[in-house]
A and B are shown apart, each in its own frame.
Chain A
Amino acid sequence: EEQLLESGGGLVQPGGSLRLSCAVSGFTSETFSMTWVRQAPGKGLEWVSTLSSSDGNTYYADSVKGRFTISRDTSKNTLFLDMNILRDEDTAIYYCAKEEPYYSHNKAYYPGYFALWGRGTLLVVSS
């Protein structure tokens, strides 16, 4: 069974740093693009970052660009999100998601859709 399990959330002071992890099981993460999405308390979904499997490139929301870094350890089949210079507004549940490609005429296209989500890990940035 395919599963994603996030960890690493917690309480951090503004300006601090933290690393989130997403342990992948049931499939090889490097085969798929992987994404972090967050949700502030009582708010909607906000895309944070994607690590593309097709070109290895990384993509970031403007709100986190320059502060967050997405990466993966293929030997551990784990996705990471390194977060620096944290702000109050970074407080959210952080979900990792597996991206499946769209198919057209039997050809796979990225970016696709978020087919599998983890349970999320809560980050609270507060003094």
Chain B
Amino acid sequence: SYDLSQPHSVSVSPGQTASIYCSGEKLGDRYVCWYRQKPGQSPVVVIYQDEKRPSGIPERFSGSNSGNTATLTITVTQVEDEADYYCQAWDSGTAVFGGGTRLTVL
């Protein structure tokens, strides 16, 4: 089975840049999307197709994907960005999620 790995947690100060990594074998050959989940809420897509931003998602969210690693970057991180972030890709008709990264903004 295909696995996606993420760090359990990332901490960043408000106004700084946060980078969350997602690794998987030849991940760059697949499209990756990123979901944000705040406590008690449903997930929301923040990046799809590696680097595209849905309407309503701030420009400070960006994504990239190459080699074995996809990256979600949040510039000028806000306190409201504190949440769990999950990467996701497809493998033979199966959706695979990373284990999730808790982003703490303090």
Q: Chain A residues in contact with chain B, CB under 8 A?
A: 35, 37, 44-47, 50, 59, 61-62, 95, 100, 102-103, 111-115, 117-120
Contact = CB atoms under 8 A, between A and B. Distances in A.
Contacts, number: 60
Nearest to B99: A44
Contact of B48 (A35, A44, A113): A113
A120 B95 contact: no
Contacts of A50: 93, 95
Contacts of A45: 35, 37, 43, 86, 88, 97, 100
B35 A59 contact: no
B35 A114 contact: yes
7 contacts: A37-B95, A45-B35, A95-B43, A113-B48, A114-B33, A114-B35, A119-B42
